[in-house]
Structure formats: structure tokens, C-alpha cells
Amino acid sequence: MNDRFHPRDKNLVPIWEKIQKGDRLTFEDGVAMFRSSDVISLGKMAHNVQRRRSGDAVYFVLNQKIEPTNVCVLSCKFCDFATKQGSADAYEMTIHEIVHKLTPEIHEVHITGGLHPDWEWEYYLEMLRQIRKNLPNADIKAFTAVEIDFFHKKFRMPIEEVLIQLKDAGLRTMPGGGAEVFSERVRRLLFNQKIGARTWFEVHRTAHKLGIPTNSTILYGHIETIEERVEHMLKLREAQDETGGFLTFIPLAFQPGDTGIKPRGRFTSAIDDLKMIAISRLVLDNYPHIKAYWVMLTEEVASVALNFGADDIDGTVGGEKIAHDAGAISPMTLAKEQIVKIIRDAAKIPVERDVYYNPLKLHASNIVGKIPYLNSVPFYEHLEKREFKIMPMAPRRMGLLAAEGQVDAGLFSLVDYLNQQSSLEMMNYGIATRDQVRSVLLFSNHGWGDLEGKTIGITDDTATSVHLLGVLLEKKYGVKANLERMHSGVNDVRSFDAVLLIGDEALKSSKTGLSGFEIVYDLAEEWYTWQQLPFVFAVWAVRKSIAEGQKNELKRLVEQSLETGETNYETIGALHARRLGLTSQEAAEYLGGFNYRLGGRELLAIETFKSFLPHVKDFLNQKTKV
């Protein structure tokens, strides 16, 4: 896009130059973008950033919205949903009624509602327990920061204890509602009974510390100024720098309903909605996902937003009432087939996900999987897609989807390739270390011999590295430890004796360290000192069943991209490295430590590692909680 980008608004040129260099946008940049009338150029900028992060993927989830009651102790001016006890429209759901609304295909149960004055704490805990019992394969996303603060005050428990008990009962993630706009001026005028920014961030930071990822929102299009919108996003960006615990940002267009609030102008237009999506993608450079919430945007605007920086369209949202009580005009439940069609019409991959954004099913063909780490940049930075679509995903997820025939080619974890050799054909490319890797690290408080009987947390992303760890423990050191998988991104590591991290998360921690752990082991270095061989973490492979012409075309594209990438590691890795806190030179040194073409020593290393796997797999099956 660099040479072809000629915005009508020339004030966007220096902003785009900043983005290309990986420099952070400022408050003034945010205001300038909101004041710009060049919406198309904003969309192009945001779409470029979004594709670097998410490739061609757009996520959705099969979810059920549960709002247990509309009875609420608060009286917020902008809310058309809440009412008081005894009102004709008041309702209170029993746990049986809640469970009865759920169906087996649901992947996410999303719970928010009024702040009921009389319900006991045990009701909320039992609600989550019964949902988990009756729908064990679904994840629970529940309770805004406003609700958590309400529980904290009503039941006289610290916020941390509230969250611990909810997590034990089944809570997995939290929604981002209740943020509204982080402006004291707006809070005093519209929701002075509700929590402000300080408490909202306290709740979310506490959740992140406990290993509970959360989401975040902004409610815009009422009396807030564009300056207040930008300040809101900058505060979220700062918090994300601190914790890394936010999954997505969800701009929520205000629905006036019968609140009596008169927005600036009528209410949000499609242009304002698209600008909000695009600018949030550009400002929130540390956020994995931006959501186009179709319930408030309408299907039509949400579809366009997928080319304006959004990579998530939420889901079926069965049972949503809050926005609709305020006048949202979108259909109450959008069928799965219609969501898939909207995403395909935007030339994207419809990706059915879980609550953590792990892909469960890809509703497309000709998919090339992309490991979204710095170490794979030389393959993908200049990769022409042609007839293929690019789907970034963690190594383990790519292997699971490939086993179901949903990924046609990609840079596969070595163990997944070995397990699927009957259906995959290896190419002569991969990610192999020479002696150390710096991005597959075991953080520990114990020497190898002292890990006997200890519990090691394993990032959920890894497929091969966990087997390498098993080989080292079992064969090199004769140690039996317990391995337990953790959710990637936000982990409560305090309960583990050691933690295995891979990819960008490990690379970042190699510079800063991991709080609470004093020793760091590089697994590739451990392997090399033992076997005097490189270690091959991933190999390029293509599905044997696809047409020969497609295979040859892909091989040509990969070779062409790698040849270009190998000529200047410093340039191609600069933008990615910046997000990890690395300099361009550090990125170049890191990338220069890999062999991307598989030769005789790499093939020997594969066979040597393969010889250890049968016994180690038995060890892992016995010692690992997945």
C-alpha cells in the first residue's frame, strides 16, 4: 500500500508514515483522524494494519446472551433496559430458566444484567456452576466491572476474592461493558451512580493478574467529544501495555431509545461508526482484535467495517436485550449462515472461534496457515496470496485444524507434521535453530534435577516445544514433572514451579524476565549441548490432496518470498519487533540465528527427535493436563 497510498487529506500522510515505522500515534494524531473527512483513506490505513495482524481472518462465535434480570439499583440516564422491583416490565430468571435457554452448539455464554438488590452471592456462583455442568464445552464470559464492583460492595469481599470465587465456579473471561467513556464530565452528567475509570481499571487489572482475560468497550455518539474518545482509547492502550490482558476493543454506538438524551447531531451515522472502527484499530496498536458489533451497527455497516480494521463480528448473540430495548434495529438473532455470508462477501475467512479467540472451524478453502511470530516473518512478509487466503494461528491450533482437513498448507509445528505425514507433503523450508533460539524458554525457580514432581505451566500455543520439554525431562535429565496447559496471553503463573513460553511471548520475556522466576533455560540450547544438532521447530508442508498446479504455485511463492525476506532481516522484522520492545538490529540478530532452508543436518535432527517421541508421548499423556 505504501506507493499506492495517496490520501485526499494530506494531514493523514505523516500519521501513515508513523504507522509504517511502528511509531505510536499520539493524542493529536487521534484528534486529527476524527476531524478528517477522508474516511476512505482512514479505512485503507486500518485495513492494512488489520491484515498484518489477522491476515484474512474474521472471527465470530456461537454465543448465547443471558441477562438474568432487568431489576437494577442504578438509574443511568442512557439505559432503557433497567427497571425497578415491582415494575410491570421487571423480570427475574431462575437458574433453571437460564440453563434451559442454552443449546449444545453454543461456544460462549455471555452474562450481564441489572444489579439486583436482593439476590444472594450463592445465586451467582451456582448459576455459573450449573452452566458449566450442563454445557461443559462452552466458555463463560460474565459480569462487567460494574457488576464486579457491585458484588464487592454488597457482599463485602475484596475484588480479588470476588473474581477468584467466580473463576472457580466457571468464569473464563469478562465482557468490557461499563466503561462508557472515561470522562468525569460525562460520568457526572449521564451515570453519576456508576463506577468511573479508576474502579473499572482496578477490576480489569485484578482480573488479568488472576489469569482472566477481559474485553473493553466505549459507548460513543451521545454527549462525548472526539477528544474524550481519544483519551479513552489512550487510557486503554496504557493499561494493555501494563497487563496484556485485553482480548478485544468493542466500539458501541449509542442507541438513544427513550432515554431523553440528545446526542451531538442525530445519533451515530455509518460514517461515524466506520471512522470509530478504523481509528481504534490504528490507535490501539497493542490490541489483538477490534470488534464490529453488528447488534448496534446493523449487518450492512458491520460488513463494511471488516475492511475498515475490524476482524471480529461477534456472533449469533441470541437473547440480547439491552441494545434492542434502546432501539437497535439489527435482527435479534443473526443466523450462523448469514454471519458466514457477511464475512465471505467482505472477501475474508469466516473463523468460528471460542471465547479466547482460538479458531475452531474455518469456513473457507485454500487456507495457508501462518505462525504469527517474529521468527516466521521472512516467509510471510512478501508472500503473495494469489488464490490462497492467509490465516494466522498458533502452532497447536494449526495442527488441530489441519488434522480436520481445514488447513491446506502452512508452516506446521514439527510434531503436527510428523503426526500427519500421511496427508501432508513436506517442503524444503522450515524454522531450525543453530544452537539457541531465545523464543522457546523455560522459566524456573529450580534446576532440572529439582523439577522432579513439580508442576510446569505450558503455554497453550505449543505443539512441538512441549514434546521437546518432555524429551529433555525424561531422556536427558531423568525427571518426571507434571505439565499443565495454560491459556495463552494472560496467565496466572504464580501457582507453577516453572513455566514454558514460546514465540513472541517468550522473546519479550527474554528481555524483561518473567516475574517470580529466577532461572531461564533455552530449550534449543539444551538440545544442542546434548545432541550437537540443530532443532527443527516447524516445517512447511502442503496437503497432498490439493492439485499439483496449486502445490507448485505455492512452492514458488514461498521461495520467492523467502529470497526477498532473507536479503534484509532488519527491515522486514522492524515493525513486528517494535511491538515486542526490540530494536531493528535485535530483530535482525534474532532472525539471523535461524536456518530457514532444511539441509542434511536439519533432516538428521528431525529423525533423531522423532526416535524419542513414542515413549515421550506416553510420558506426556500421563503427566499433562490438557
> Going from the N-terminus, what domains does the chain have, and what CATH number goes with each?
25-360 (3.20.20.70), 373-433+536-609 (3.40.190.10), 440-531 (3.40.190.10)
Stretch among 205-214, 260-269, 600-609 having the lowest mean pLDDT: 260-269
**Could you give phi then psi for residue 425, rounded to 5 degrees?**
-110, 125
- Cα-based angle 470, 471, 476 (whole degrees, multiple of 5): 120
CB atoms < 10 A from the CB of 207, how many? 27
Given strand 214-220, what is the order of strands in its sheet? 214-220, 246-253, 289-290
Average pLDDT score, the chain: 89
Cell numbers given for 242: 501494563
Is the pLDDT at 427 greater than 70? The verdict is yes
What mean pLDDT do residues 334-359 have?
A: 88
Q: Residue 570 to residues 55, 574, 597: CA-CA distances in angstroms? A: 22, 6, 19
Q: Looking at 290-385, list the stretches that DSSP marks H as alpha helix, in order from N- to C-terminal side.
A: 294-297, 299-305, 322-325, 336-345, 377-380
Q: Which band of pLDDT confidence, cut at 50, 70 and 90, is reported for residue 327?
A: very low
Is the pLDDT at 334 greater than 70? The verdict is no
Sign of the four-CA dihedral 594, 596, 597, 599: positive
Is the pLDDT at 175 greater than 90? The verdict is yes
Cell numbers given for 342: 457477511
Q: Cβ contacts of residue 495 below 8 Å, gap of 6+?
A: 455, 457
Given strand 498-502, what is the order of strands in its sheet? 519-522, 440-444, 498-502, 455-459, 482-486, 624-625
Look at residue 392 and give its three-state secondary structure. strand
Q: State the residue for C-alpha cell 522466576.
A: 517
Residue-wise pLDDT for 226-247, tens only, equals 999 999 999 999 999 999 999 9
Is the pLDDT at 486 greater than 70? The verdict is yes
Q: Which band of pLDDT confidence, cut at 50, 70 and 90, is reported for residue 322?
A: very low
Stretch among 97-101, 108-112, 484-488 having the lowest mean pLDDT: 484-488
Is the pLDDT at 60 greater than 60? The verdict is yes
Q: Residue 184 and residue 14: Cα distance in Å, rounded?
A: 32
Q: Residue 280 and residue 285: Cα distance in Å, rounded?
A: 9
Q: Residue 53 and residue 48: Cα distance in Å, rounded?
A: 9
Strand partners, 65: 110
